[in-house]
Chains A and B, each alone.
Chain A
Amino acid sequence: KAGVTQTPRYLIKTRGQQVTLSCSPISGHRSVSWYQQTPGQGLQFLFEYFSETQRNKGNFPGRFSGRQFSNSRSEMNVSTLELGDSALYLCASSLPGYANTGELFFGEGSRLTVL
């Protein structure tokens, strides 16, 4: 079956702009998580959505937001971009709730460069 799909794969923005990233999970997976990966900070958890509700949130400023749609697709948005937001943003899907064993299925990521 198809894997996790993230779009766009690469994008370049300037400071102050905003960006929206999209993630389509594996069919049947209802939980979507987002991670930020940078050389300096490694992998940092942004948030997790299940059934259109944010269930977990990491320690990121309010400029970072997300949502999930009824078909489990998810988007994340970063407003007022800063240079430090340059990163690889990874989306992962998983089975929800009681079936969740910690096994995440990752997309290839969206690489954001902020100039």
Chain B
Amino acid sequence: GNSVTQMEGPVTLSEEAFLTINCTYTATGYPSLFWYVQYPGEGLQLLLKATKADDKGSNKGFEATYRKETTSFHLEKGSVQVSDSAVYFCALFPYTGTASKLTFGTGTRLQVTL
């Protein structure tokens, strides 16, 4: 079946540090890949996505590249801010046209300090 593995958190960084959150996946076929973010007290919201191999998703300074050869979709940001403190979820979606059933990773909490 489909699965997503994320690095354990929490990840604690100082402001302006470089961020990497690792994500690998197991799936048949060619899934779409997502990063969702959950800020304190809120629901999840889509951060970025990539729908095919070698695609790079980007938003708000965050980037992730769909690597089929390594089945990975690592999230990166060059300079984090305190406002980036949140829980980040990697997710995969089998293919378009199916029911809404994303498979989520366990989430990685990011804490950014001054």
Q: Which A residues fall within an 8 A CB radius of B?
A: 4, 31, 33, 42-43, 45, 48, 50, 55-56, 90, 92, 94, 97-98, 100-109
Q: Are B100 and A31 in contact (CB under 8 A)?
A: yes
Residues from 32 to 68 in B contacting A, C-beta threshold 8 Å: 32, 34, 36, 41-46, 49, 51
B residues in contact with A48, CB < 8 Å: 99-101
Q: Are A42 and B96 in contact (CB under 8 A)?
A: no
Known interface pairs A90-B44, A92-B100, A105-B46; 5 further A-B residue pairs with C-beta atoms within 8 A, sorted by A's residue number: A33-B101, A45-B101, A45-B102, A55-B99, A105-B45
Whether, in the assembled complex, B104 has its beta carbon less than 8 Å from a beta carbon of chain A, the answer is: yes
A residues in contact with B97, CB < 8 Å: 97-98, 100
Q: Are B45 and A102 in contact (CB under 8 A)?
A: no
Q: Which of A31, A42, A45, A102 contacts B34 (CB 8 A)?
A: A102
Given contacts A42-B106, A43-B107, A90-B43, contact A104 B89 (CB under 8 A): no
Closest beta carbon of chain B to A92's beta carbon, Å: 7
Q: Are B43 and A106 in contact (CB under 8 A)?
A: yes
Q: Which of A43, A56, A107, A108 contacts B100 (CB 8 A)?
A: A56
- Select from chain B the residue with minimum beta-carbon distance to A3: B43
- Select from chain A the residue with minimum beta-carbon distance to B6: A42
Scan B67-88; emit 1 where CB is below 8 A from any A CB, else 0: 0000000000000000000000
Q: Are B107 and A42 in contact (CB under 8 A)?
A: yes
- Interface size of B by CB at 8 A reads 25
Q: Which of B49, B89, B104, B106 contacts A103 (CB 8 A)?
A: B49
Q: Are A104 and B46 in contact (CB under 8 A)?
A: yes
B residues in contact with A43, CB < 8 Å: 89, 104, 107
Given contacts A42-B104, A43-B107, contact A103 B46 (CB under 8 A): yes
Question: How far apart sit A13 and B99, CA to CA, in the bound complex (Å)?
Answer: 32
Given contacts A106-B44, A107-B43, contact A101 B93 (CB under 8 A): yes
Among A98, A101, A102, the one with the most B-chain Cβ atoms within 10 Å of its Cβ is A102
Question: How far apart sit A55 and B102, CA to CA, in the bound complex (Å)?
Answer: 14
Q: Are A101 and B32 in contact (CB under 8 A)?
A: yes
B residues in contact with A106, CB < 8 Å: 43-45
